[in-house]
Structure 1
Amino acid sequence: MDGTCTAYLKFPQVTGAATTAKYTVTYDGGTADKTVDQSAGANQGTWVSLGTFAFKQGNSARTVPRPQRNYPELAPRLPKGHEPCSPPGQPAEWNRSIAHRPPVTSRFCSPLRAKSLDMWVQRILEFIGWEPAGIPVDWEAIEREIGAPLPPDYKELSEAFGGGLFNDTVTFLAREERKAFNLVTRWRSALAADRDPRLGDVSAVTPYKIYEPGGKGLISWGSTEWGDEYFWFIDSAEPGKWPVLARAGDIDQWHTFDMSTSEFLYRVLADTDFRPFGVTQYGLEATFEPGDTL
């Protein structure tokens, strides 16, 4: 029926959230542009009102995020131990000159170039314009703590990029010092919350549970600044299977994808038809910022 409703949105607690995130609410009578400070502690992890609007039955009501961050113009920051690549025929000082800054999608020279990579990992590297960093990771120790093997293509992504931020909005979790981009640290925190007796049987991933060693459940490996979340469903009785589960906006509506982590991430970043998770519809540049530089 017709009536007046309040529009809400929810986004997770992350470091470096946008201070001026833009949203457009479509209602009966037009549209309204709203700006939300996602970095405010009072706003993170809870429902935030965008205002009250009139709606009619059958009206196509929508709240569309329009990601935007106002950063000063800076040359891209390099991962530790890397040197900027120079165009053919140019001296090494070329990229250090303010007058010849590389584009945002600049490439980085790596001390370790991959010989053979998963097809989808390679596509992400080419899409972003990035050379694999060759980051050393003790996967044996990580998988021993988790109690399950992790996807091989995810390991390649982690070694190539490390944890960080794709396209200025997609958080990728790996083995990073900073908690915001550390897969294991985030999993420990989520598991501790799931085990908290004060919360009873309530889980942040209902109707699922956070994965416990020897059991089955979800482990988060990525998200967006407006609340999309990406998980693996891991069953210790079926090692070697890592279906991707994701949700966008509606925390009760889950989507299951029979595809690899790297294929899912590539489609999020580059596939204009990958609804509702694709981010290219917002006109974002293809970039990557390492977690230790944010």
Structure 2
Amino acid sequence: MHSAVECLSALVPPTGSRRSRDWTAVERRLGTALPQDYKKLIETYGGGVFDETVWLLDTECPHQGYNLIDQAKECAETLAKLWQVEPKPPQLLEGDGADVLPWAYIEESGAMLYWLRRQGQSPEEWTVMFNEGRGPEWEYHPTQCAPFLLSVLLSLWA
């Protein structure tokens, strides 16, 4: 298991049993491979609310708002329209082919958590972008999704 997912499991014990996925089929439908820490996070917790705040997107969620594939398509369309009238975040301008792919959102705020993907990177190199959702603020976090969640929880509990 990924070390950050192990730490999260100790802090927020998963309810229920392990939730396996056919990741090959998921990645085929999505058109991209996914990071191992995300896969372990979903297999450990499943999609849906995590610690009463963060909603993890999962390809097996029947509700469009929580489904990774549906949200990936919707966010890509929304951001393409947005960036016709607003500038892209600086991190997305640092090379050809940079884009974002959502993996979670924050309850009731509209804020989204994305992977920042750059051309030529493996999913293990993707980092986190946070968008406030109802405004222009973007934050860059040079870490993967599971360590990001762990650091957020630890900072809230400190």
Query: Quick one: distance in 1 between partners of 2:104 and 2:85?
Result: 22
Matches within 5 A, 1:154-193: 154-175=38-59, 176-193=61-78
Give 2:104's aligned amino acid. G
Task: Give SS of 2:153's match.
Answer: helix
1:148–1:236 contact (8 Å) kept in structure 2: no
- The structure 2 residue matched to 1:221, chosen from 97, 103, 112, is 103
Matches within 5 A, 1:252-263: 252-263=136-147
Normalised to the residue count of structure 1, the TM-score between the two structures is 0.45
Q: Point out which structure has higher relative CO (alpha carbons under 8 A, 6+ apart).
A: 2
Show CA shifts across 1:104-143 (max 9, x none). xxxxxxxxxxxxx111101111111226732221211222
Change (3 A) 1:254 1:195: closer
Shift of 1:226: 2.3
Identity of aligned residues (%): 26
2:110–2:134 contact (8 Å) kept in structure 1: no
Number of aligned residue pairs: give it: 149
Query: Quick one: distance in 1 between partners of 2:105 and 2:43?
Result: 19
Q: Which residue of 2 aligns with 1:128?
A: 12
Q: Which residue of 2 aligns with 1:55?
A: none
Shift of 1:173: 0.9
Q: Which has the larger share of strand?
A: 1
Shift of 1:248: 4.0
Unaligned runs of 5+ in 2: none
Give 2:84's aligned amino acid. D
Q: Which residue of 1 aligns with 2:3?
A: 119
Query: Quick one: distance in 1 between partners of 2:133 and 2:24?
Result: 35
Query: Quick one: distance in 1 between partners of 2:8 and 2:80?
Result: 36
Query: Quick one: distance in 1 between partners of 2:152 and 2:83?
Result: 34
Q: Which residue of 2 aligns with 1:207?
A: 88
2:18–2:44 contact (8 Å) kept in structure 1: yes
Give 1:233's aligned amino acid. L
Q: Which residue of 2 aligns with 1:104?
A: none
Q: Which residue of 2 aligns with 1:153?
A: 37
Task: Give SS of 2:4's match.
Answer: helix
Query: Quick one: distance in 2 between partners of 1:144 and 1:124?
Result: 28
Pair 1:268-2:149 in alignment: no
Show CA shifts across 1:148-168 (max 9, x none). 221101000111111111222
Normalised to the residue count of structure 2, the TM-score between the two structures is 0.78
Shift of 1:249: 6.9
Change (3 A) 1:200 1:164: closer
Pair 1:137-2:21 in alignment: yes
Q: Please say which structure displays the higher CA radius of gyration.
A: 1
Q: CA RMSD in A?
A: 2.7
Query: Quick one: distance in 1 between partners of 2:77 and 2:139?
Result: 25
Pair 1:231-2:90 in alignment: no
Give 1:217's aligned amino acid. D
Query: Quick one: distance in 2 between partners of 1:243 and 1:191?
Result: 17
Q: Which residue of 2 aligns with 1:68?
A: none
Give 2:105's aligned amino acid. S
Query: Quick one: distance in 1 between partners of 2:80 and 2:112?
Result: 21
Give 1:256's aligned amino acid. Y
Unaligned runs of 5+ in 1: 1-116, 273-279, 282-294
Query: Quick one: distance in 1 between partners of 2:66 and 2:15?
Result: 20
Task: Give SS of 1:271's match.
Answer: helix
